[in-house]
């Protein structure tokens, strides 16, 4: 079964160091989407951007090669890939001879696309060629608002409101206070979130209270971002909306979901906490 309880999360694990695509554990997206009213056709477009910093294999002479990789899993794919299974799968290449990065990229694309149920983009680079400069999400930070908060979950969409009598605005709001938890292990997931919209001005204090109310919530990264998108869309009815979260890495992987009414995809910027 493809439910979180049947995944490798929270279980004793033998770390394989040879190639094994069966380690990948897909989880259907629609189960959680049903909870928040996401139906087909999807009300958003988007992508889950994964960065892998612990990728290595052996060349044909037995010498280890180190690399970093970027993966784009489309939001339209029927499955997410559970992150621990993703890490175990990547670690399986540690003692695996592979002809070159192009051959590895093709193999990764094949296996990940099969698990996700849709084409996954794969880009592998040498670590020094991929050196990132820090570039935090742009926008107006709402974390400094003098707001008293005593609600840390579950998420409360009632905090969200927009002044429908005011002039329409186009603005970008950001927060570094997003925190949720793995639904299986309870481990905390820390992130920053950017909300870009066009429409009636959103009450910033209410938005901050809403984001903080994820603090004890148990849900995967992708599901949290879709919940934020749907709640803001339903409660504030913007004409355009994009939600982009950049989560800190765990086990050499970070996950950065993006959902939007627009077709443009975001830059893979690396925040100071990543």
pLDDT (tens digit, 9 = 90+) per residue, 95-140? Answer: 999 999 999 999 999 999 999 999 999 999 999 887 777 888 999 9
Evaluate whether the domain defined by 140-260 bears CATH number 1.10.10.10: no
List the catalytic residue out of 111, 176, 182, 254.
Answer: 182
Q: Among this protein's residues, is 5 annotated catalytic?
A: no
Domain-by-domain residue ranges, the chain? 4-125, 140-260
Q: What is the pTM of this model?
A: 0.93
Burial (CB < 10 A; 0-12, 13-18, 19+), residue 12, is: exposed
Q: Say how many C-beta atoms besides its own lie within 10 A of residue 248's C-beta.
A: 14
Q: What is the pLDDT of residues 187-208, one digit of tens each?
A: 999 999 999 999 999 999 999 9
Q: Which residue has the tokens 């394989």?
A: 16
Provide the annotated binding site for NADPH: 83-84, 250-251
Q: What is the pLDDT of residues 233-262, one digit of tens each?
A: 999 999 999 999 999 999 899 999 999 999
Provide the annotated binding site for substrate: 81-83, 221-222
Q: Which residue has the tokens 């879709």?
A: 226
Type and span of the H or E element at 229: helix 221-236
Q: Which phi and psi (to 5°) does residue 4 adopt?
A: -55, -35
Domains 4-125 and 140-260 agree in fold: yes
List the catalytic residue out of 48, 111, 189, 254.
Answer: 189
Q: Among this protein's residues, is 236 annotated catalytic?
A: no
Q: What is the pLDDT of residues 203-234, one digit of tens each?
A: 999 999 999 999 999 999 999 999 999 999 99
**Is pLDDT at 2 greater than 80 in this prediction?**
no
Evaluate whether the domain defined by 4-125 bears CATH number 3.40.640.10: no
């Amino acid at each position: 079964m493809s439910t979180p309880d049947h995944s490798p999360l929270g279980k004793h694990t033998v770390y394989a160091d040879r190639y094994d695509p069966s380690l990948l554990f897909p989880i259907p997206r629609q189960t959680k989407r049903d909870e928040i009213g996401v139906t087909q056709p999807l009300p958003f477009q988007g992508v889950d951007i994964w960065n892998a910093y612990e990728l290595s294999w052996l060349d044909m002479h037995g010498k280890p090669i180190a690399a970093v990789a970027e993966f784009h899993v489309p939001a339209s794919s029927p499955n997410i890939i559970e992150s621990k299974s993703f890490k175990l799968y990547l670690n399986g290449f540690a003692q695996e001879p592979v002809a070159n990065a192009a051959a590895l990229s093709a193999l990764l694309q094949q296996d990940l696309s099969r698990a996700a149920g849709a084409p996954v983009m794969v880009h592998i680079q040498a670590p020094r060629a991929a050196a990132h400069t820090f570039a935090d999400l742009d926008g107006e930070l709402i974390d400094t608002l003098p707001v008293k908060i005593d609600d840390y979950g579950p998420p409360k969409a009632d905090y969200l409101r927009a002044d429908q009598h005011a002039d329409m605005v186009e603005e970008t709001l950001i927060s570094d206070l997003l925190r949720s938890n793995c639904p299986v292990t309870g481990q905390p997931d820390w992130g920053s979130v950017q909300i870009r919209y066009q429409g009636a001005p959103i009450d910033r204090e209410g938005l901050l209270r809403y984001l903080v109310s994820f603090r004890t919530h148990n849900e995967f990264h992708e599901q949290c971002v879709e919940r934020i998108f749907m709640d803001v869309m339903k409660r504030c009815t913007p004409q355009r909306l994009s939600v982009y979260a950049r989560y800190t890495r765990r086990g050499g992987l970070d996950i950065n979901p993006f959902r939007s009414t627009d077709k443009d995809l975001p830059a893979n910027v690396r925040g100071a906490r990543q």
